[in-house]
Structures are given as C-alpha cells and as structure tokens.
Structure 1
Amino acid sequence: MGVHVFDTMGTTVSLRFAGATAPASVLDGVEGAFRAFDERFSLYRTDSEISRVARGELPLTRTGAELREAYAEALDWSRSTDGAFTPHRPDGVIDLSGTVKAKAMEAAARVLDSSGEADWMLVAGGDILTRGTLDGLPWRAGVVDPDDRGTLLCAVELVGRRIALATSGTAERGEHIWRTGDPRAPQRYRQVTVLADDIVTADVLATALVAGGPERCPELLNRFDIEAITVDNAGNLTATPGLQSAWGLTPA
C-alpha cells in the first residue's frame, strides 16, 4: 500500500493507495487543491481573501467567484438545516470552515479521478473520502471513542455509494461549534459521525447534528439521506438503522 502524508489547512492529510503511490505530478495536484482553498478561505491567514472580508477591507461583492459561490452554498445548507448549520460566527464574521475542508477534499478527488487513480482513501483531519476498494475489500474507517482517543467505538465500511465519513464534536478541539442550550448538558451530543454519499454532506450534517442536538436529530435524519452514530455527554450511543445492526446500538 502506498501512502502520502502532508500538512495543510491546519491539519494532517493522508492519502492511501491500494497499490503503488500515485506519481509525483498527481500528488502535487492533490496538495495544490488543498493549498488553493487554504489560501483563499483560511481565517488564520491574514492575507487570505476571507480574512480581508472579515476585516472590512474587501466587500463581499468584490470577492472572487469562488468565495461568493462557497458562501452561497453554505447559506443553502443553513436554510436546508433550518439554521443548525451556519456560515457565520456569533459576531457575524463569515466563516466557511464548515464546508471548505470538504470542498478541498472534493477538489483533490477530482485530481485523483482524472489521473486514473481508482482505489484510494483520503483522510483530512479525521474526515474520510474513498474510491474503489482495498484489494477487493471495502475500505474501513474507525470511529474514535471521544472518551479515549486511543480506542475505537466501531469500524465503518465505506462501500457502494456510501464513500464519505465525517466526524464532528468537542473531544479533540473543545467547544468550537456554535449551538443553543448548555453544551455541557448530559443529553447534548459530544460527537457525531455521519456516513454519506459525498464528503460535503457528511461534514456539514455532522456539524449540524452536534449543533442541533437530540431535539433536531430526528428531523435532520428524516430530511437527509445519511447514516449517523451519536455519542452524548453521558456516554450514550445511538445509531441509525443502517449502522446499528452491526454493533447492537440503539436507533437514533
């Protein structure tokens, strides 16, 4: 198995191939896809386009098409989740970190697909996107126990159209998701993992479910074609029917 690892967007990205590692030109293209998103959308870079918008130096109407389209897409997600997902910080600053990592992963996937790479797993900050198989078997991804980062709750197969897995929560990065109510309440979600057909949907809805909590969970699960595993602050696990049978978990 070939492996390529690099750091970008404040996280580590790993790319695993079922066979030999892709040529250097393809790997450069993958890294370039992430770099382009980081340079435009990172609020941690003072020279990024979105940082200039946040400081009031650049009107949104004068930004590039890529930023305006990404913002419009994030607003669509906010509307479709009735505000459980938001592209705004509490102070009103536009923050597209909830979508841009996933969109960078999609861009990297296009590089790999166009180069003819058929069997790979892309992991960026714990979010996963796959193609093909590992020696004829489905790619498998572990879901980490938020109470013990060295232990797995379970393993999920990424097979068929379910090729994307994203996890959101507070175990690793602390409270960084804007949500209503007391985030420390026992019934609030500490971690949510979503299995979906594409990585943007998986990433957005994992965040939306953490933000919306158990009150919004049934509605969001009915509205979107996803599978999910949730862990609340009391340590209770739930899973949607597509995942619960493998581990005997309670339906979400």
Structure 2
Amino acid sequence: MRRVEHVMGFPVSLRVDDEGVPEEAADAVFEWLREADARFSPFRPDSEVSRHDRGELARYELSEDLVEVLELCEHYRLATGGAFDVRLPGRGLDPCAVVKGWSVQRAAELLRSAGARRFVLNAGGDVVVSGGPWRVGVRHPERADRLCTVLELTDGAVATSARYERGDHILDARTGRPATGLLSMTVLAPTLTEADSVATAAFALGVEGVEWAASLPGCEVFAVDEGERVLRTEGFPGAGRSPAAA
C-alpha cells in the first residue's frame, strides 16, 4: 500500500509492506492528520488553538488532546530554560513544533492498531518507521542534492530541524531572535513526538542544544554547526565520515 497526500502544508507519504492491511487504515491516517490540522493549526481562526488563544476557551474547556500538546510544550520550555516557547511576545499561540510530530506519531499508532507491522510514514522529511530495515537519508543543510548521512533503522523516528526549507523560522525565545549556532539538528528517538520536539527545542538552544538533546534517554543526535562541523552521538546509526564534514 502506498499513498501520498498534502496535509498540514507539506507532503505526507505512507508505505505499508504488510499484506492484508486494509486501505481503510490509510484512510484513517490521513483523516486524522486533516483533523489535527483543523483542530490545532494557529493559522485557522476557527481551530481550537486559535479559539483558546483568543480567550474563547478556558483551560478546563479544552480537549484532552490539546491539553496533552500544551503540557508537552511547557515541558520543553522548562527543559530548555525558555529557549523553546510556543508563546512569543507579539505572536499568537503556535504549538506547530510539537503538533506535527505528535500527530504523525498518533497516525503511526493507528496503523499498528490496524495490523500494520512493516511501514514508513514520512511527513515532510520527519519519519516514523516500523519493521525495517529502512534506510532514511539526512539532507545536507546547505546542498539540496547531497546527504549528510544515511540511517538504517528497524523501528523508531527521525526528525530534522534546519533553516533550508523555511529560513530562520526557529527563534530563541530567550532573545526573540532567530536561533544561531546550528545549520541543522537531526534527532533519532523512539517516537516522532520526541524526535520532532527535541530537534526543534535543541535547534532553538543553538550549539548547547546538541549536548542537551544527547543527554535525553533514548535520543541520538546528528547536528551540523554553522562551520559545517558534524556533532553526533556515538549511537547515531550510519556513523562514519559524512559529506557535511568535508
């Protein structure tokens, strides 16, 4: 089974190699992602996030899902000493940095509940894999036609935060200015909820975010700093010289 749809502003591709998994499983994945976008997008004035940000919904009126997302946002705000924050001065509530990985991980769980055991779900370059081996490439942060490294994974999730797609969109909330020090931050973790949130939070921290992310249980790190120096943990798959280090 293979499916590609544009959801949340980026392409989402699904590949399931198990036999007998119904097409309805893929339908459920994309239906959920569209629902998550409608409920949690800060760009939709009628979304739950936007209504809460305008004061129309009190905390006790929020869905359990949004409460969970906001608690994750607060966890990473505290863990980074305020470098990562979904509430910036002069801006509305924007939990997208957490919602993306969280919602795609939920989609992967829907696949497993439908009987899928060997699949890859790729959401704009952030990937959940199961039942590998699967090969996942990490793009060079400054050369679109090159890879930094290739991971071979059986189960887990990989997410990258970088400037190459959206420019300086990740801010260090401590200063209100674009985060500096890193060109890209890739995190391997058991779930995409963790991998995506940690990658963004670590990028906001700058170079110090590499050590912070590496200290988290279950996380492995591959980062490229502004001097194109590769910083990675020993347990990151695909170890060896990379093009980014050249």
TM-score, scaled to structure 2 = 0.88
User: Could you tell me which residue of structure 2 aligns to residue 129 of structure 1?
Assistant: 128
Select which of 215, 225, 241 maps to 2:234.
241
Query: What secondary structure, in the 3-state scheme, does the structure 2 residue paired with 1:246 have?
Result: coil
Query: What secondary structure, in the 3-state scheme, does the structure 2 residue paired with 1:86 have?
Result: coil
Q: Residue 196 of structure 1: CA displacement? A: 0.9
Segments of structure 1 that go 5 or more residues without pairing to the other structure are none
Query: How far apart are the structure 2 equivalents of 1:164 and 1:235?
Result: 24
Query: What secondary structure, in the 3-state scheme, does the structure 2 residue paired with 1:210 have?
Result: helix
Name the aligned partner's letter for residue 207 of structure 2: P
CA-atom RMSD, angstroms?
Answer: 2.4
Q: Residue 171 of structure 1: CA displacement? A: 1.0
Name the aligned partner's letter for residue 214 of structure 1: V
Q: Residue 59 of structure 1: CA displacement? A: 3.5
Select which of 173, 179, 204 maps to 1:211.
204
Q: Residue 177 of structure 1: CA displacement? A: 0.8
Name the aligned partner's letter for residue 203 of structure 2: V
Q: Residue 110 of structure 1: CA displacement? A: 1.7
Q: Residue 67 of structure 1: CA displacement? A: 1.5
Select which of 134, 137, 145 maps to 1:150.
145
- Partners of 2:182 and 2:226 within 8 A in 1: yes
Name the aligned partner's letter for residue 200 of structure 2: T
Q: Which runs of 4+ in 1 moved over 3 A?
A: 19-22, 55-61, 180-185
Seen in structure 2, the aligned counterparts of structure 1 residues 100 and 235 have a Cα distance that, compared at 3 Å, is same
- Partners of 1:81 and 1:220 within 8 A in 2: no
- Partners of 1:85 and 1:204 within 8 A in 2: no
Q: Which residues of 2 match residues 31-50 of structure 1 at below 5 A?
A: 31-50=30-49
What is the CA deviation profile of residues 193-232 of structure 1, one whole-angstrom value per residue up to 9, with x for unaligned ones?
0111111111111111111111343234224431111112
Query: How far apart are the structure 2 equivalents of 1:241 and 1:192?
Result: 15
Q: Residue 21 of structure 1: CA displacement? A: 8.6
- Partners of 2:170 and 2:179 within 8 A in 1: no
Q: Residue 131 of structure 1: CA displacement? A: 0.9
What is the CA deviation profile of residues 5-24 of structure 1, one whole-angstrom value per residue up to 9, with x for unaligned ones?
01111111000123569432
Query: How far apart are the structure 2 equivalents of 1:68 and 1:245?
Result: 37
User: Could you tell me which residue of structure 1 aligns to residue 74 of structure 2?
Assistant: 75
Query: What secondary structure, in the 3-state scheme, does the structure 2 residue paired with 1:148 have?
Result: coil
Query: How far apart are the structure 2 equivalents of 1:245 and 1:60?
Result: 44
TM-score, scaled to structure 1 = 0.86
Overall identity of the aligned pairs, in %: 34
Aligned residues: 242
What is the CA deviation profile of residues 125-166 of structure 1, one whole-angstrom value per residue up to 9, with x for unaligned ones?
110001102xxxx11100001111121111011235xx1100
Seen in structure 2, the aligned counterparts of structure 1 residues 148 and 39 have a Cα distance that, compared at 3 Å, is same
Seen in structure 2, the aligned counterparts of structure 1 residues 3 and 21 have a Cα distance that, compared at 3 Å, is farther
Query: How far apart are the structure 2 equivalents of 1:190 and 1:248?
Result: 18
- Partners of 1:4 and 1:21 within 8 A in 2: no
Seen in structure 2, the aligned counterparts of structure 1 residues 183 and 99 have a Cα distance that, compared at 3 Å, is closer
